[in-house]
Amino acid sequence: MAEQTTPDKKPAPKKKPADDGRIPPPPSSHYERPGMMDQVRDSQIWRSIFRHGYPNTVRNRSLAVLSNIFLHLHPINVRSSGLRLSFTWCMGGLTFFLFLIETITGVLLMFYYRPTAEYAYQDIIALAEHVPMGIMRELHRWGAHAMVITVWLHMFRVFMTGSYKPPREFNWNVGVILLVLTLLLSFTGYLLPWDQLAIWAITVGSNMARATPLLGYEGPLASLMAVGDVGLVHSGDDARFALLGGRFVGEATLLRFYVLHCIFIPLAAAILMAVHFWRIRKDGGISGPL
């Protein structure tokens, strides 16, 4: 019996649309006009500032760190242990944060404080009672106490985890210098209220400078600093005299401590902090646990 076959059906012809004179819509592949942010990112000004794309790839993340004036001090990659609060205690970061707080509040206090024997104590009283936002002095004072504590805890953590060992011994010495500068910031700032407690505390503290080796007239080896029978180091030109600007705590001492506290020591500390952060990056980031 012959198989029955059905003829193939031809597709019905498409009807042509009526030509009514209208312009047909553009195809779906038509180029879309870039948005405002795309135009900004493609501009010459944007590309001259940001020379990389979004940090969504390893390369862009590396470029984002290397081309940033603040981030380039930090390593591109860090150990997972360096992100654990139980390992770092975040004491280094807290110390830097408190340094920024001290800088901001210190600049604000400089607008109202005059380092003279006549007005220094009056300005301290006015900061607490009359000046708006006088709480800035309390923030500055307690921030200084907290900064000393966090620096000591940071040094203790670094020592206990062996982070001072090679190749980080240079950065350990930089940290020791920063610790000394932090203590000197507290020492020089202690005199600025210019009350009886501050004056006598600096008198007692500065007396230790008389025992400085070679430079203090009561210190060891000071007798060697002589030409014939004439001593080169005496109470009128030794380390204590240079620190106080005289033989006793006076207005010259107040001005000298003000300059050291507000300009010289903070500037030295800021430079060494940048070196400290840079060396952390060069040494491979925060050291791992022992």
Give the pLDDT confidence of 98-129 residue by residue, as tens digits: 999 999 999 999 999 999 999 999 999 999 88
174 in the same domain as 275 = yes
Instruction: Classify 119 as helix, strand or coil.
Output: coil
Residues 177 and 224 in one domain: no
116 with 154, same domain: the answer is: yes
Task: Please indicate, yes or no, whether residues 168 and 267 belong to a single structural domain of this protein.
Answer: yes
Q: Return the pLDDT at 185.
A: 97
The residues, any chain, with a CB within 8 Å of residue 111's CB and separated by 6 or more, are: none
In a shared domain, residues 269 and 215: no
Residues 138 and 271 in one domain: yes
42 occurs within a structural domain: no
CA dist list (Å): 24 to 14, 17, 31, 135: 17, 11, 16, 71
- Assigned domain for 145 exists: yes
pTM: 0.79
**Residue 141 domain flag:** yes
d(CA 176, CA 197): 29
Asked if 166 and 233 sit in the same domain, the reply is: no
pLDDT at res. 172? 96
Residue 8 located in a structural domain: no
Regions of the chain short of the pLDDT cut 70: 1-33, 290
The position carrying tokens 């242990």 is 81
User: Per the structure, how many domains does the chain have?
Assistant: 2
Range of the domain at 103: 66-191+261-290
Is 43 within a domain?
Answer: no
Inside any domain, residue 102? yes
> How far is 52 from 60, CA to CA, in rounded Å?
6
In a domain, 54, yes or no: no
**For residue 290, what pLDDT is reported?**
64
